[in-house]
Structure 1
C-alpha cells in the first residue's frame, strides 16, 4: 500500500487503539484531528532517503513498544525486501503533530528507515522527538498512549 508523505490519510475512517497488555480491550473513535500519511512505501515508488538522528529512531521504536494502533488480522510484508526475508507488519503508529494534525505511519516504518534508508519528513521526525515517552509508557488501560482521545470514544471493556 502506497501513500505519498503528508497526503491525507483515508485508509480507515476510525482509529482503534488496543491494549497491548491484554490484547483484548480496545477503544475506537472517529478522529477530530487530521491524519497525514508518513512512510507508506511500495516497491517501484520513489521515496526520500537520507540519514536521521539516532535518537529519533530509538524513540520511534520505543513508541511502537507502547502503542498498538489499528491492528489488523492480516499482515503486510515489506515488498522492498527479497520475498524470503521480508518482515511483516499489521498495524499503525499515530504521532501527534501541531495541534489538530496526527501523523499516520505503518508499523513497518522503523524497518523502512533502518533497512532501506527512508527519511521521513522533518515535521514527523520533530513530532516523534517531542513525544512524552514517559507519559505514554506509563499509560495503562483505559488510558492509551496518545493524547487526543475524545471523551465519547467507544470502549470495549470486557
Structure 2
C-alpha cells in the first residue's frame, strides 16, 4: 500500500472532492500511537461496512502480515468486515472529507495507531454518536 502522511491531500484515486489522507501507514514510517476510545472504534466498525473505492484483491498488513483481516461490525455488530481492499470516506467539520484505507480499523485495534483527533470526531459524528472530549490518548 502507498504511504501518505496523515492530513496530506488525498491523491490515491481520482476524486471530485478534496480529501485528506488518514491511516495510510507503512512499516518504513513512524506513526502516532495511543489509545482510541471505544466510541471511535464502534463508529469505524459501522462506517467500514459501507466501503468506498472497493478494489479487487487485498493488501497485506505490513506490520503483522495479516492478509484480509476481519472484524465484526456493521450497524448491529454482526457483519464480518474483511479489511484491506477498500477505503472509508468520512465528512468532518467544515466539509472536510477524510479518506482512509479500511485497514485503519485493523491498525487501531492491532497496532495501536492513533488517528488525528479531527478524524475521530468526524467518525463519531458521522454515525450520530455523542461527541466525547477524550476520543484519543497519545502515549
TM-score range, shorter chain: 0.7 to 0.9
Question: Which residue in 2 is equivalent to 1:87?
Answer: 67
- Within 5 Å, give how 1:29-44 maps onto structure 2: 30-31=16-17, 34-44=18-28
Deviations 1:88-118 (A, max 9, x none): 2110000001233100000100000000000
Query: Normalization by structure 1: what TM-score?
Result: 0.67
Deviation of residue 63 (structure 1)?
Answer: 1.2
Question: Which residue of structure 1 aligns with residue 34 of structure 2?
Answer: 50
Aligned equivalents of 1:133 and 1:2: distance in 2?
A: 30
TM normalised by structure 2 equals 0.76
1:5-30 deviations in Å (ceiling 9; x for gaps): 0000011113xxxxxxxxxxxxxxx2
Q: 1:133 deviation in Å?
A: 5.0
Q: Deviations over 1:49-90 (max 9, x none)?
A: 00011111011111112x121011132111111x3xx13211
Runs of 5+ consecutive residues of structure 1 not aligned to the other structure: 15-29, 135-158
**Which runs of at least 4 in structure 1 moved beyond 2 Å after TM superposition?**
none
Greater Rg over alpha carbons, structure: 1
Deviation at 1:39, TM superposition (A): 0.4
How far the C-alpha of 1:38 sits from its partner, in A, is 0.3
1:68 matched residue in structure 2:
51
Q: In structure 2, the residue corresponding to 1:36 is in which secondary structure?
A: strand
RMSD across aligned C-alpha pairs, in angstroms? 1.5
2:107 is equivalent to residue 106 of structure 1: no
Per the TM alignment, residue 44 of structure 1 is displaced from its structure 2 partner at its CA by 2.1
8 Å CA contact 1:63–1:133 kept in 2: the answer is no
